[in-house]
Amino acid sequence: MWVFLGLYLAGLMVHGEGFNPLVDLWLGMPASWAPAAVAGLAAYRAKNRALALVAMALAAFAAGSTFYVSSLAGASSLPFPSPADIGYLLFYPLVLSGLFVHLLPLRQRLARSVLLDAVVGSLGAASVLVVLLSPLLSAAGGFPSFATSVAVAYPLLDLVVLAVTAGMAAVPGLATGRSGAILMLGLMVFAAADVAYAFRLEYDTYYLGTPLDAGWTAGLCLIAAWADGFTREGAAADGASEGAWTPAVPMVATAAGLGVLIVGTGIPVPELAVGLAAATLVSAGIRTQLAFRQLVTLAEVRRQSRTDELTGLPNRRALYTDAPAVLDAQQGARCAFLLLDADRFKEINDSLGHDVGDRLLVQVSERLRRCLGPDDLIARLGGDEFAVLLLDAGEHEALQLADRLRAALSEPLTLRGIALQVGVSVGIALFPEQGNDLKTLLRKADTAMYRAKTFRTGRHVYASEDHSTGEERLRMLQELRIALAEGELILHYQPKVDAVTGETKGVEALVRWNHPRHGLLAPDSFLLLAEEAGLMNALNDCVLTLALDQAALWHAQGRPMTVAANLSASSLIDAELPDRIAAMIEERGLAESALMVEITEDFMMPDRVRARDILSGLQARGIRVAIDDFGTGYSSLAYLRDLPINELKLDRSFIVSMTEDPRGAALVASTINLAHSLGLTVVAEGVEDGDALDQLGRYGCDQAQGFHILRPVPPAELDDWFTTTTAAQRSAAGPA
Measured between alpha carbons, how far is 325 from 466 in angstroms, rounded to an integer?
A: 28
Cα dihedral: 195, 199, 200, 204 (round 10): 150
According to the model, what pLDDT value does residue 60 have? 92
The answer on pLDDT for 281 being more than 70 is: no
Task: Give the mean model confidence (pLDDT) for residues 138-163.
Answer: 63
- Of the spans 73-82, 329-338, 526-535, which averages the highest pLDDT? 329-338
Question: For 564-591, how does the pLDDT look when each residue is reduced to its tens digit (9 = 90+)?
Answer: 999 877 666 677 888 989 999 999 999 9
The answer on pLDDT for 597 being more than 90 is: yes
Measured between alpha carbons, how far is 618 from 135 in angstroms, rounded to an integer?
A: 78
- Of the spans 268-282, 428-442, 523-537, which averages the highest pLDDT? 428-442
Angle between helices 466-486 and 536-556 (to 10 degrees): 40
According to the model, what pLDDT value does residue 203 have? 67
Ramachandran angles phi, psi of 99, nearest 5°: -65, -40
DSSP 3-state of 496: strand
CA of 583: how far to CAs of 549, 577, 587, 731, in Å? 13, 10, 6, 41
Q: Kindly give, in sequence order, each residue whose CB lies less than 8 Å from that of residue 26, ignoring residues fewer than 6 positions away.
A: none
Classify residue 113 as exposed, middle or buried by CB count within 10 Å of its CB (0-12, 13-18, 19+): buried
The answer on pLDDT for 308 being more than 90 is: no
The answer on pLDDT for 258 being more than 60 is: no
- Of the spans 21-35, 123-137, 254-268, 391-405, which averages the highest pLDDT? 391-405
Q: Residue 470 — pLDDT band, cuts 50, 70, 90?
A: low
Question: For 97-140, how does the pLDDT look when each residue is reduced to its tens digit (9 = 90+)?
Answer: 887 777 665 554 444 555 565 556 556 655 665 566 555 555 54
Buried b / exposed e over 669-704, threshold 16 CB at 10 Å, is: bebbeebeeeebbbbbbbbeeeebbebbbebebbbb
Q: How does DSSP assign 553-611, residue by residue?
A: HHHHTT----EEEE--GGGGG-TTHHHHHHHHHHHTT--GGGEEEEE-GGGTSS-HHHH
Poorest-pLDDT segment among 189-193, 679-683, 727-731: 727-731
Poorest-pLDDT segment among 234-238, 251-255, 513-517: 234-238
According to the model, what pLDDT value does residue 278 have? 54
Q: Residue 1 — pLDDT band, cuts 50, 70, 90?
A: very high
CB 399 within 8 A of CB 461: yes
Measured between alpha carbons, how far is 457 from 473 in angstroms, rounded to an integer?
A: 17
Average pLDDT over all residues of the chain? 77
The answer on pLDDT for 678 being more than 70 is: yes
Q: What percent of the chain has pLDDT over 90?
A: 22
CB 127 within 8 A of CB 261: yes
Task: Give the mean model confidence (pLDDT) for residues 646-662.
Answer: 87
Measured between alpha carbons, how far is 388 from 396 in angstroms, rounded to an integer?
A: 15
**CA triple 106-111-115, angle to 5 deg:** 100
Q: Kindly give, in sequence order, each residue whose CB lies less than 8 Å from that of residue 259, ignoring residues fewer than 6 positions away.
A: 272, 275, 276, 279
Task: Give the mean model confidence (pLDDT) for residues 702-730.
Answer: 87
Distance from chain centroid for Cα 359:
21
Q: Residue 346 — pLDDT band, cuts 50, 70, 90?
A: low
Question: For 500-514, how does the pLDDT look when each residue is reduced to its tens digit (9 = 90+)?
Answer: 988 999 999 999 998
Q: Are β-strands 595-599 and 418-420 bridged in parallel, bridged antiparallel, or unpaired? A: unpaired
Ramachandran angles phi, psi of 565, nearest 5°: -125, 140
Q: Tell which residue, 318, 199, 187, 184, has the closest CA to residue 243.
A: 184
More confident residue, 245 or 432: 432
Measured between alpha carbons, how far is 199 from 287 in angstroms, rounded to an integer?
A: 35
The answer on pLDDT for 491 being more than 60 is: yes
According to the model, what pLDDT value does residue 35 have? 94
According to the model, what pLDDT value does residue 523 have? 86
Ramachandran angles phi, psi of 528, nearest 5°: -65, -40
Q: Can you say whether the dihedral through the CA atoms of 98, 102, 105, 107 is positive or negative?
A: negative
CA of 119: how far to CAs of 13, 219, 253, 598, in Å? 39, 24, 10, 57
Question: For 206-250, how does the pLDDT look when each residue is reduced to its tens digit (9 = 90+)?
Answer: 777 777 888 888 988 988 888 887 666 543 333 333 444 445 555
Q: Residue 627 — pLDDT band, cuts 50, 70, 90?
A: confident
According to the model, what pLDDT value does residue 245 have? 45
Classify residue 576 as exposed, middle or buried by CB count within 10 Å of its CB (0-12, 13-18, 19+): exposed
CB 380 within 8 A of CB 315: yes
According to the model, what pLDDT value does residue 440 have? 87
DSSP 3-state of 205: coil
Task: Give the mean model confidence (pLDDT) for residues 58-76.
Answer: 80
Q: Tell which residue, 159, 152, 165, 93, has the closest CA to residue 126.
A: 159
Poorest-pLDDT segment among 79-93, 99-113, 148-162, 437-451: 99-113
Whole-model pTM: value is: 0.47
According to the model, what pLDDT value does residue 295 have? 47
CB 256 within 8 A of CB 128: yes
CB 440 within 8 A of CB 434: yes
Task: Give the mean model confidence (pLDDT) for residues 287-298.
Answer: 50
Element (H, E) at 462: none
Give rounded-to-5 percent helix, strand, coil for the chain.
65, 10, 25
- The beta strands (E) that lie in 300-396 are given as 335-342, 377-382, 385-391
Measured between alpha carbons, how far is 605 from 410 in angstroms, rounded to an integer?
A: 12
Distance from chain centroid for Cα 659:
55
Angle between helices 316-329 and 438-454 (to 10 degrees): 110
SS3 sequence of 264-324: HCCCCHHHHHHHHHHHHHHHHHHHHHHHHHHHHHHHHHHHHHHHHHHHCCCCHHHHHHHHH
CA of 605: how far to CAs of 361, 452, 649, in Å? 20, 21, 18
Classify residue 646 as exposed, middle or buried by CB count within 10 Å of its CB (0-12, 13-18, 19+): middle
According to the model, what pLDDT value does residue 427 have? 92
The answer on pLDDT for 674 being more than 70 is: yes
CB 35 within 8 A of CB 220: yes
* End-to-end Cα distance, the chain: 112
The answer on pLDDT for 593 being more than 70 is: yes
Poorest-pLDDT segment among 152-156, 320-324, 582-586, 687-691: 152-156
- Of the spans 157-166, 523-532, 713-722, which averages the highest pLDDT? 713-722
The number of residues in the chain equals 736
Q: Residue 144 — pLDDT band, cuts 50, 70, 90?
A: low
The answer on pLDDT for 494 being more than 70 is: yes
Q: Kindly give, in sequence order, each residue whose CB lies less than 8 Å from that of residue 285, ignoring residues fewer than 6 positions away.
A: none
